[in-house]
Structure 1
Amino acid sequence: MNTAKKHKEKFSLAHLTALQVPPPEFIRMASRTGYDYASIRTIYMGLPGEPNYDLSTNKEMLEDTKKALKETGLKVWDIELVRVEEETDPVSLVPSFKIAQELGAKHVIASIWTDDLEFGKNSFAQICDLAKPYGLTVQLEFVTIAGVYNLKGALAILNSVKRQNAAILVDSHHFHRSVHLFGDKVEDLKRIPRKWLNFFHLCNATSLIPEDVEEMTRILREERLYVDEEGIDNKEILSYMPDDIVYSLEIPHKQRVEAYGYEEHARKCLESAKNFFTSSKVKKEVVLS
């Protein structure tokens, strides 16, 4: 008789899925809909249409966020987003790192948008150094439309900076695009050391990749699909991820939010992910130690 316990997947709700919901209510919503963690966007980037949830300057919202965590028992898995550009001052991020530690977060997401990769590499290394005293791992996410746009580039950065608290965040949507546009291969995921894999941005999207950058941007911010829908071969991608990785569901979809509301959409995101893992027999490949 096989007495081995089946691994239970852990899920976090990524803030981009419901970005207009402020952190306190976002945490309560994540708890009500069954998530294990919340991933909150507390680093303000000044992008058009994005609300400012900088908890280091909004003390009232910070206290309400702490209250929501205490009420629900939910944990903050990560904060985001460090957008590395020429005008980014790494030292200015320290207040956000302090707040992340206060909230119990373990990770901060960063992506490199400058085309000056030497500058981007040095800035990323400095960010890792600044985040380390606060117990934060800096997750480098490669984004198809950014300066570091594929797995190969992300691996090159981490192998160069050699920071103990540096890691790689794979997003199934971005990776699908990098495979078809920039020469990555699914089996290249075996090159990621296990210590660099803490969590995974999970979603689905149409397999057709638009050529227009504006349309690519719109889809990744407004039209990602539920995990159990057709498009990306998540089954193959996830075969290279460790069993105990946390899945952060980043599934923004403007029309579905308008139809269902943020909370029901968040619930459907989680249901779709659980359906995927129930119905898909993901055969695990070897992950490096």
Structure 2
Amino acid sequence: MTLAPTDLILSAGSMMSVPVLDRLRPAREAGFAGVSLMGADYQQMVASGVSAEDLREHAADEGLVVTEVEGIYLGLPGREPGPTMPASLAQLLKGMDAPRYLAVAVAAGASSITVIDMFDGAVDIDQAAEAFANICDRARDLGLTVQLEYVVGGGIATYADTCEVIRRAGRGNGGLMIDSWHLFRGNVTLDELARTPGDRVFGVQINDGPPPTDADPLREMTKGRLMPGEGIFDLVGMIRTLDAIGSKAPISIEVFSDTLSALPADEAARRCAETTRATLHKARG
């Protein structure tokens, strides 16, 4: 099932407190077309006796697709987490190796994976491009696409460098995942976004953020994001820019938030859908 730019995806990051199978009906009732899966989700599924194939079947029963597996480690050797990264997150990221989770993506019926590097220290662009190309080649053999996500504070230092990694890798099934939190917290301008080839944008994650403070950015990234329209990000401008460059990527709402996690699953999914649709309506009319 190919999703359109008007289709909405409920990201795993918005529902981390809810068991994976329990997200499906609220997602369908809120009007989402698909859901994503994270490594932590998969580990919890396995621990409870639920397979990726089970998830695929349950999602289909609700009229949904599993769109992607998120958070796959780029796989550069010698990379280590920084001192501020929680040990549990570091352990999870290190375990998100591409070969294993490519197989999970296939079993879950996903069409893509998203690759990141969140560890300290700058990486060599050519080495990153080679690693990304290798993952793309493995994914292509399985019929999957691969998105590389720019992450503030990660090893690929800038949005421009992330785009350059994709360009140097030169793989047709390799593209970009744009997350509004990283875009705006990384001080990426809309003019810079406008120079991105639209056909290389494979995915878009939308969320909002408060005015910047001196607080720990990792905590805001993982626990303090806001719903679209509740913060200071120019989401309308971002969506209009993506439309102008010809992006056909569907929109995923990814709000890592303690406040959102405290809500019942149906209310959380409904709020995600309503705020995202309101933002898209402002941008597109």
* Normalised TM-score (structure 1): 0.80
- 1:234 corresponds to which letter in structure 2? L
Paired position in structure 2 for 1:263: 266
2:58 maps to 1:72: no
1:98: Cα distance to partner? 2.4
Q: Which runs of 5+ in 1 are unaligned?
A: 1-6, 45-49, 284-289
Contact 2:239 2:283 in 1 (8 A): no
Tell me if 1:33 matches 2:30. Answer: yes
Kindly report which structure 2 residues correspond to 1:89-100, keeping only aligned pairs within 5 A, or say none. Answer: 92-100=97-105
Alignment partners' CA distance in 2, 1:23 and 1:256: 16
Q: 1:161 aligns with which of 156, 163, 169?
A: 169
Contact 1:205 1:230 in 2 (8 A): yes
Aligned-partner residue type, residue 52 of structure 1: Q
Query: Which residue identity does 2:130 align to in structure 1?
Result: N
Supply the distance in 1 between the matched residues of 2:117 and 2:209 (Cα, whole angstroms): 23
Deviations 1:152-205 (A, max 9, x none): 1111111211111110111111111111xxxx3211112222221122100111
Equivalent residue, structure 1, for 2:114: 109
Q: Structure 1: how far apart are the matches of 2:66 and 2:196?
A: 25
> 1:132 Cα deviation (Å)?
1.2
Aligned to 1:239: 240
Contact (CA 8 Å) 1:24, 1:64: kept in 2 or not? no
- Please state how far the C-alpha of 1:251 moved relative to its aligned partner: 1.0
Partner of residue 13 from structure 1, selected from 2, 10, 19: 10
| C-alpha separation in 1, matches of 2:64 and 2:156 | 32
Q: Residue type matched to 1:248 in 2?
A: S
SS in 2 for 1:60: coil
**Aligned counterpart, 2:229:** 228
Structure with greater contact order relative to length (CA < 8 Å, sep ≥ 6) = 2
Secondary structure of the residue aligned to 1:230 is: coil
**Given the alignment, which residue of 243, 250, 254 partners 2:254?**
250
Partner residue of 2:275 out of 247, 260, 272: 272
- The unaligned stretches of length 5 or more in structure 2 are 80-93
Matching of residues 174-193 of structure 1 within 5 Å: 174-179=182-187, 184-193=188-197
| Pair 1:74–1:172, CA change in 2 (3 A) | same
For 1:70 and 1:266, how far apart are their aligned partners in 2?
18
Moved more, 30-39 or 9-18: 30-39
Task: Please give the alpha-carbon distance, in whole angstroms, between the structure 2 residues aligned to 1:68 and 1:87.
Answer: 39
Task: Decide which of 138, 141, 147 is 2:149's aligned counterpart.
Answer: 141
Residue-by-residue CA offset, 1:66-114 (whole Å, 9 max, x unaligned): 3312311201111111123536899953232123123321111111235
- Name the amino acid aligned to 1:68: H
Pair 91,40 (structure 1): closer, same or farther in 2 beyond 3 Å: closer
Measured on the aligned residues, the alpha-carbon RMSD in Å equals 2.7
Q: C-alpha distance in 2, partners of 1:262/1:16?
A: 13
Query: Aligned pair count?
Result: 261
- CA 1:107–1:161 in 2, change beyond 3 Å: closer, same or farther? same
Instruction: Give me the whole-angstrom Cα distance separating, in 2, the residues matched to 1:167 and 1:8.
Output: 16
Letter in 1 for 2:238: I
Q: Is the 8 A contact 2:14 2:254 kept in 1?
A: yes
2:14 and 2:261 in contact (8 A); partners too: no
Contact 1:121 1:161 in 2 (8 A): yes
Residue 196, structure 1, aligned to residue 200, structure 2: yes
Distance 1:270 1:239 in 2: 19
2:207·2:253 contact (CA, 8 Å) conserved in 1? yes
Quick check: 1:217 aligned with 2:218? yes
